[in-house]
Amino acid sequence: MPKLNRPTAIIIAAFLVLLFTTSPAWPPQAAAADAALATPGQATVPTGLQRATATPPLITLAVPTPAPPTPTPLVLPTTGAPSTALGNTLDGYLKQLVQAGLFQGAVLVAHSGQVVLDQGYGLADAARKLPNTPQTRFQIASMTKQFTALAALQLVARDQLALDASVCTYLDDCPAAWKPVIIRQLLNHTSGLPNYTDLASFNTTQTRPATPTELIATIRDLPLIFTPGSTYMYENTDYVLLGMIIERVSGMSYGDFLQLHIFAPLGMDNTGAADTAPPAPNQALGYSTPGELAPILHPTTLFSAGGIHSTVEDMYRWDQALYTNQLLPQELRDQLWTPGMGAYGYGWRISTRSGHRMISHAGLMDGFAGMIARFPDDRLTVIVLGNMSAADPEGIAGYLADLVFQST
């Protein structure tokens, strides 16, 4: 996958600082780990590695599934110009980025229970001149992991999955080397499993549909990189295996499980997984830079590690549900953002910004770059979904948060 080249963007960004002389310095340093690791296919290994020609079929267990809760409607403002001074400030900053060719997408900012900004910027489809809106669907890439983690904990809450059980408990024909790996280590990226998206072969297959079994076949015969539980290494294999285990334990496809137990209960009507949701008319196309279409990466090749699409408004519905017990009891919910090695919880990165606790995750892939940053102690959420690889969603989200903090 291509690396981003931003010298020109940095020069333009420096000019933008002059437009915000009373605001915090922009852009803040992006979180290097997410930026480097959430985008698959950048590292290579010897090309002699061959994909396995056959793997055991999945076995599903028939488990009774409770009816989903009634959707809780979340009232969002009618799309239009921001109605507050703070909203206008945030909107003005984003418009400057669009004019400089540094961003296109949609942004939602909510503070203390109020939506401050909910706007689209730039084009979802340049050829047809279709604008991005708050209802535009974007690939959210590695932000998918937070949904996979919560789905796994939902099975834990039902005593159908054990965090300290070996992954081989739930997988047929499990390689002997994987027996020491436990579910918890998949969630927090300490399994030691090789990252399938780092293989040279992934660069030649990422544009075609793939099954999770095919994805895992590429690394199943490789040795572990380190002793499970001894080191943190962000990678995609862990979360593809979690998706496969969710399917086997629940007896449902990954996409159907999320639809029944997360998306439908929250009214996330514009969110879905690649295995169940066909492209929609409001789906944004991915660009490298404004007007330049990015190479296509088929979302099934990321499965439960990065295959979900969503909108900023649906992501806000998700954010608000995480303050409640609607999806998960608090004891398990708190484990999502309890930092382990690498300051990573289960599907979330835990850090601080400007002295404020931040729970966040980026999502980067060819043509799309996004970020959700939650400041739960301040009831501040910044959601940036973009359809341009060259954007810096972490820097943008961080600067927007700084503007909000400066205004209070």
The predicted-structure confidence for 317-328, as pLDDT tens digits, reads as follows: 999 999 999 999
The residue to which tokens 């396995």 are assigned: 52
Domain boundaries, the chain: 7-407
Which amino acid is located at 307 in the chain? G
Name the region of 83 (left: φ>0; alpha: ψ -120 to 50; beta: rest): alpha
Higher pLDDT residue, 42 or 136?
136
Lowest mean pLDDT among 22-26, 272-276, 310-314: 22-26
3-state SS, residue 352? strand
Which residues, other chains included, contact 204 with Cβ-Cβ below 8 Å and sequence gap of 6+? none
**Cα distance between residue 33 and residue 238, in whole Å:** 16
- Quote the crossing angle between the two packed helices 85-99 and 393-407, to the nearest 10°: 150
pLDDT of amino acid 277: 61
Strand partners of residue 363: 370
Residue 403 token pair: 């503007």
pLDDT of amino acid 380: 98
Each residue of 66-89: pLDDT tens digit? 444 454 556 565 556 677 999 999
pLDDT of amino acid 67: 46
Which residues, other chains included, contact 332 with Cβ-Cβ below 8 Å and sequence gap of 6+? 153, 156, 157
Higher pLDDT residue, 76 or 158?
158
Lowest mean pLDDT among 11-20, 366-375, 388-397: 11-20
3-state SS, residue 118? strand
Q: What is the pTM of this model?
A: 0.83
Residue 137 token pair: 């669907």
**Cα distance between residue 266 and residue 257, in whole Å:** 14
Quote the percentage of the chain above a pLDDT of 90.
Answer: 74
Going from the C-alpha of 372 to that of each of 79, 311, 369, 380, 395, the distances in angstroms are 20, 12, 11, 11, 11
pLDDT level of residue 276 (50, 70, 90 thresholds): low
Higher pLDDT residue, 68 or 292?
292
pLDDT level of residue 219 (50, 70, 90 thresholds): very high
**Cα distance between residue 310 and residue 317, in whole Å:** 11
Lowest mean pLDDT among 57-61, 173-177, 268-272, 402-406: 57-61
pLDDT of amino acid 51: 26
Would you identify the CATH topology of the domain 7-407?
Beta-lactamase (3.40.710)
